[in-house]
Amino acid sequence: MIRIALIVLAVFLPGLQAVAQDGAILLRPERVFDGERMHENWVVITRGEQIVYAGEADGADESGIERNIDLRGATLLPGLIEGHSHILLHPYNETNWNDQVLKESPAERVARAVNHARNSLMAGVTTMRDLGSEGAGYADVGIRDSINKGIIPGPRLLVAGKAIVATGSYGPKGFHEGVDVPLGAETADGYDELVRVVRSQIGQNVDFIKVYADYRWGPDGTAQPSFTQNELQTIVEVTRSSGRPVVVHAATAEGMKRAILAGVETIEHGDGATRETYKLMREHNVALCPTLAAGDAIAQYGGWRKGVDPEPPRIAAKRKSFREALDAGVKICFGGDVGVYPHGDNVRELEMMVEYGMDATDVLRSATSINADIFHIGHEVGRIRKGMLADLVAVTGDPAADISALRDIRVVLRNGEIVRQ
- When asked if residue 231 is in the footprint of Zn ion (CB under 5 A), the reply is no
- For Zn ion, the binding residues in 310-339 under the rule CB under 5 A are 337
Name all contacts of 174-182 with Cβ < 8 Å and 24+ positions apart.
181/102, 182/101, 182/102, 182/135
State the amino acid at position 82 in one-letter form.
E
Contact region for Zn ion (CB under 5 A) — 126-134, 160-168, 195-203, 229-237? 126-134
Residue 351 CB, shortest distance to Zn ion, in Å, is 19
- Minimum Å distance from CB 357 to Zn ion? 23
32/251 with CB nearer Zn ion: 251
What string of DSSP letters covers 242-286?
Answer: TT--EEEEE-SHHHHHHHHHHT-SEEEE-TT--HHHHHHHHHTT-
By CB under 5 A, residue 140 contacts Zn ion: no
Nearer to Zn ion, 75 or 119 (CB): 119
Q: For helices 275-283 and 253-262, what crossing angle results, to 10°? A: 10
**Distance (Å, whole) CA 31 – CA 394:** 10
Nearer to Zn ion, 31 or 129 (CB): 129
Burial 109-127 (b: 16+ CB within 10 A, else e): bbebbbebbbbbbbbbbbb
Question: Is position 130 an interface residue for Zn ion (rule: CB under 5 A)?
Answer: no
Closest contact distance (angstroms) between CB of 173 and Zn ion is: 17
* Residue of this chain nearest to Zn ion (CB atom): 337
Which window, 47-55, 125-133, 215-223, 360-368, contacts Zn ion (CB under 5 A)?
125-133
Size of the site for Zn ion (CB under 5 A): 2
**Crossing angle, helix 106-122 and helix 139-148, to 10 degrees?**
40
d(CA 249, CA 226): 11
Is the CB of 287 or the CB of 405 nearer to Zn ion? Answer: 287
Instruction: Report yes or no: 25 and 69 within 8 Å, Cβ to Cβ.
Output: yes
Question: Could you say which of 117, 123, 131, 358 contacts Zn ion (CB under 5 A)?
Answer: 131
Identify which of residues 337 and 417 has a Cβ nearer to Zn ion in the complex: 337
Output 82 or 337, the one with its CB closest to Zn ion.
337
Amino acid letter, 21: Q
Q: How far is CA 225 from CA 5, 42, 72, 87, in A?
A: 54, 50, 52, 26
CB of 84 to Zn ion, least distance (A): 6
CB of 232 to Zn ion, least distance (A): 18
Are β-strands 392-396 and 65-78 bridged in parallel, bridged antiparallel, or unpaired? Answer: antiparallel
By beta-carbon proximity to Zn ion, the closer residue of 34 and 186 is 186
Binding site for Zn ion (CB under 5 A): 131, 337
